[in-house]
Amino acid sequence: MQEIPHVSSLRASAPLSLGSEISVNKVGKSYGADSFAKEVVHNCSFTIERGKLTVMIGPSGCGKSTLIRLLAGFERPTTGTITIDGKPVTGPGVDRLVVFQESALFPWMSTYDNIMYGPRARGEDTPEMRAFAETLLQKVGLAAFRKKYPSQLSGGMQRRAELARSMINQPNVMILDEPFRGLDAMTKRLMQEYFANLFNEFRRTTFFVTTDIDEAIYLADRILIMNNIPTQVRAIIDVNLPRPRNVENVTESDEANGIKMQALGLLHEEAMKSFARGSKAAADFIEAYSKRVNKE
């Protein structure tokens, strides 16, 4: 098995952690049969630690979304195993909840009703759960919009409503697939701050996928750098920046900038491999990376 470089450091003290631990062991995933088979994930191993925020970043199209489907139990690995608290993942479960890139709010339901959908579907429309919904509305800044429908909310508000709807279900593991992609820069930054504050308070095991290195460093306890397709973990970087974090402080941090340049160097190598295959996404990354390096 390929040895994975691991950049370790001491961690700041944290409140009591909640949630489960997921272990991915030598997982492979292929599509198609025999000579037509295409390998997307190859001999991939990593751990999503209990109560930690693990961020995965890699080139576009490298297989990150495939790994999300495997973790969620929507698909089964071709080889290897995935376990949650030592038990095999054999399908979807209430212990894991996925927030996708696209909005999944029901357009005919108000913000409050969208948030309460899960508890009501389980027959848990209790005073305690309704109180929790009100608390979450306050936490995500939507108390004044509780009666509004999704079409009456901005993109950022919809994302906040989806976070609240996810958290009220209290999954052991939250899995997020580039949830802030497509938002304008200011809204995206606000969403990152909202999400970071929610994580700091609840400390639920979280797996967050992104292609934004600044977002990864700001949010993560640990970053998984993925290589090109077929994907596996290229490197693991621990981020020991103290919580709660401030965007400005992270931006000005020498340690954060060191992590950023290390990650960009690894991602640049993987993007070059994609570029050699004619990937426009890789070409765009190389251009952005070159501009960044020239500014240093």
55, burial (CB in 10 Å: exposed 0-12, middle 13-18, buried 19+): buried
Residue-wise pLDDT for 167-196, tens only, equals 898 899 999 998 888 788 888 888 888 889
pLDDT of 1 higher than 60: no
User: Please, what are the domains in the chain?
Assistant: 6-90+99-247 (3.40.50.300)
Beta strands 222-226 and 173-177 are unpaired
Cα separations (Å) of 128 from 97, 135, 166, 244? 21, 11, 17, 28
pLDDT cut 90: percent of the chain above it? 51
Nearest to 281 by CA among 64, 15, 129: 64
Q: What is the pLDDT of residue 14?
A: 37
What is the token pair recorded at 248? 């400005």
Residue-wise pLDDT for 78-135, tens only, equals 999 999 999 999 999 989 999 887 788 999 999 999 999 999 999 999 999 999 999 9
Is 0.85 topped by the overall pTM? no
Nearest to 160 by CA among 116, 198, 204, 120: 198
Q: What is the pLDDT of residue 15?
A: 40
